């Protein structure tokens, strides 16, 4: 059984639905790069003042073993997962044989904590996993697992949107041209936009339809090749 994408263009596919339902129907990929909605405290900007969410579920990442199992089933190379700094140890405990390193995204925070009663959240964790048992390969040489990129300013397309240049650097370091990337928590599609700019194929999954449509709009606003592709858009959950 196969599942039909919500949207497709040459080299890009978007699926609308719960990644736990969709991932088992997808082929293996060369890189997983994703930013799951991991906790309400680190992602406080994704909450309204009354504590309600913008449609992003924060409960799913309590099942880290389930998430890691799903990702490693789809990729036997690199899986790069954003998380809180406090969660890095949980990823290591789940799959110590696959846990390679705890990385850090330095958010280059220039604005102070609004309340002033605690230090501002200056960094987020990056769990770096690899499904192989032999020698690993990446394009970063001996550089440290620290990525510095300023948080998105102004109007965001998604409450936890990551900088495009951050994802671009991760893709360059952990994949090769022509390989296929997977982002099962796609959000506004930053991974897909960066992948296409870098001549990679990409698959995105997003549970919220409005963010699927935002990602599609972002992809369509990019400069297209002279032979413009034919786009297809389908309803959620259409199985073939």
Quick: pLDDT tens for 208-238. Answer: 999 999 999 999 986 544 333 433 455 554 5
pLDDT at 151: 82
Does residue 207 fall inside a structural domain? Answer: yes
CA gyration radius, the chain? 17
Does residue 239 fall inside a structural domain? Answer: no
Does residue 44 fall inside a structural domain? Answer: yes
Q: Write the pLDDT tens digit of every residue in 21-68.
A: 999 999 999 999 999 877 554 443 343 334 444 444 434 456 788 889
Does residue 68 fall inside a structural domain? Answer: yes
The number of distinct structural domains making up the chain is: 1
Does residue 2 fall inside a structural domain? Answer: no
What domain range is 144 assigned to? Answer: 7-233
Confidence of residue 135 (pLDDT cuts 50, 70, 90): confident
String of b and e for 40-58 (b: at least 16 CB within 10 Å)?
eebbeebbeeeeeeeebeb
pLDDT at 112: 62
Could you give the percent of the chain with pLDDT greater than 70? Answer: 77
pTM for the model: 0.83
Q: From start to end of the chain, where are the E strands? A: 7-9, 12-16, 29-34, 75-83, 99-106, 123-130, 146-148, 180-183, 201-206, 232-233
Q: Which of 166, 164, 169, 162 is closest to 138 using CA atoms?
A: 169
Does residue 119 fall inside a structural domain? Answer: yes
Residue in this structure with the two tokens 């969410």, named with its chain if needed? 53
Does residue 240 fall inside a structural domain? Answer: no
* CATH code of the domain covering residue 126: 3.40.50.150
């Amino acid at each position: 059984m196969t599942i039909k994408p919500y949207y497709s263009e040459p080299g890009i596919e978007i699926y609308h639905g719960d990644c736990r339902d969709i991932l088992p129907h997808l082929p293996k990929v060369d890189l997983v790069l994703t930013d799951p909605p991991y906790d309400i405290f680190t992602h406080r900007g994704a909450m309204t003042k009354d504590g309600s969410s913008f449609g992003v579920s924060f409960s799913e990442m309590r099942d880290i073993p389930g998430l890691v199992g799903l990702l490693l089933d789809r990729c036997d190379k690199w899986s790069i997962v954003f998380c809180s700094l406090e969660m890095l140890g949980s990823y290591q405990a789940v799959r110590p044989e696959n846990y390679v390193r705890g990385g850090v995204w330095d958010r280059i925070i220039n604005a102070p904590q609004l309340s002033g009663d605690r230090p501002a959240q200056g960094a987020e964790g990056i769990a770096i996993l690899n499904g192989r048992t032999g020698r690993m390969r990446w394009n970063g040489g001996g550089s440290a697992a620290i990525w510095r990129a300023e948080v998105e300013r102004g109007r965001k397309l998604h409450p936890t949107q990551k900088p495009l240049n951050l994802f671009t650097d991760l893709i360059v370091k952990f994949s090769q041209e022509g390989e296929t990337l997977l982002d099962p928590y796609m959000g506004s599609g930053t991974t897909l936009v960066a992948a296409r700019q870098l001549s990679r194929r990409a698959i995105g999954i997003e549970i919220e339809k409005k963010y699927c449509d935002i990602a599609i709009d972002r992809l369509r606003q990019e400069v297209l090749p002279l032979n413009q592709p034919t786009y297809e858009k389908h309803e959620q959950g259409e199985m073939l």
